[in-house]
Amino acid sequence: MPNLYPALERQEVVIHGPDHVHSVGELTDATLDLVAEAWQRRARDVGGICFALLNEGHEAGASLPHSHSQLAWLPAPAPAAAGERGLPDVLPVLERGGVAAGCPVASRVPYEVLIAPARPEPDGLRSELLGPALRLLAEIVRRLQRARGEALVPLNAWLHDGPHWHLELFPRTTRLAGLELGAGVYVNPVAPEEAAETLRD
């Protein structure tokens, strides 16, 4: 449905099913496949540059508790995606259904995770692996919630489409402050090696 308070010309909300759950980690695989299909059908039907994202928890900017994602149509490719040069090196966590999850060796925040096709490919909004990628995201979120003993860990996640499409999971358990936002220097108190090991177990 249309976002009630769009900041851009077109913004839509994808409601993750009728069950009143608060986290993507609580969704069934069948629902996650429908979320992938909804993203892909809207991107195809509307055209343009569609940016898919997910905010969970108040600290991560979510204003509604019912699990949902957003589609935002951008006037130009997302600068953060356009500035990437290939995929970062990751410490492997889990591979399933043709997609792999790992913690970037230069993780910006604790438990940052990158999810990408095991064989890099373009166009996530057309890929049959988007459903499996969202399933893997949900599994990682469940493991993160268990590791921290919290039913809802605030997080952002998004799809970077392009030559090597991927999902990025960016948990919001630390505060981004002047050093992070101003200098682009991230102080991360959990080493990615430790994060990857925790998420593997």
Q: What is the contact surface with Zn ion in residues (CB under 5 A)?
A: 160
User: Do 40 and 33 touch, CB atoms closer than 8 A?
Assistant: no
Beta carbon of residue 51, minimum distance to Zn ion (angstroms, whole number): 12
Helix 130-148 to helix 29-46 angle, to the nearest 10 degrees? 130
Angle at 177 between CA 113 and CA 184, to 5 degrees: 60
Nearer to Zn ion (CB atom), residue 33 or residue 84: 84
Beta carbon of residue 77, minimum distance to Zn ion (angstroms, whole number): 12
User: Do 104 and 192 touch, CB atoms closer than 8 A?
Assistant: yes
Beta carbon of residue 81, minimum distance to Zn ion (angstroms, whole number): 6
Nearer to Zn ion (CB atom), residue 41 or residue 92: 92
Beta carbon of residue 78, minimum distance to Zn ion (angstroms, whole number): 9
Residue with tokens 């049959």: 128
Beta carbon of residue 103, minimum distance to Zn ion (angstroms, whole number): 14
User: Do 186 and 109 touch, CB atoms closer than 8 A?
Assistant: yes
d(CA 77, CA 4): 24
Nearer to Zn ion (CB atom), residue 135 or residue 160: 160
Nearer to Zn ion (CB atom), residue 61 or residue 163: 163
* Alpha-carbon torsion (125, 131, 136, 140), positive or negative: positive
